[in-house]
Amino acid sequence: MSQVNVQAVSQGDQEQPSQVEKLESYSRVNPILEHETNTIKSPYSPAEWDLVECLDTGFVFLKNPPSYESLQE
């Protein structure tokens, strides 16, 4: 598991201070094939996240999603 910094963004007219939160993430395999495949990183992938495309299926998925535990409030 690794840690990823996520910055909260205020919406609308609400001006809230930015918060940087560390989320635990993990590396995962292609969720369709359920095994490791060759992938390429998407140019639309934000710095903290690895948005990848499977070269076998064309399926796009988040390679290092946050763990469920780190998303709980």
Q: What is the pLDDT of residues 5-22, one digit of tens each?
A: 444 344 455 444 444 456
Number of domains in the chain: 1
pLDDT given at position 63: 92
Q: Which pLDDT band, with edges at 50, 70 and 90, does 4 fall under?
A: very low
The span from the CA of 31 to the CA of 10, in Å, is 32
Residue 43's domain comprises: 2-71
Q: Which pLDDT band, with edges at 50, 70 and 90, does 23 fall under?
A: low
Residue pLDDT, tens place only, 36-57: 999 999 999 888 889 999 999 9
Beta-strand ranges (E) seen in 1-73 are 2-7, 20-25, 39-41, 51-54, 60-62
Comparing 50 with 70, the larger pLDDT belongs to 50
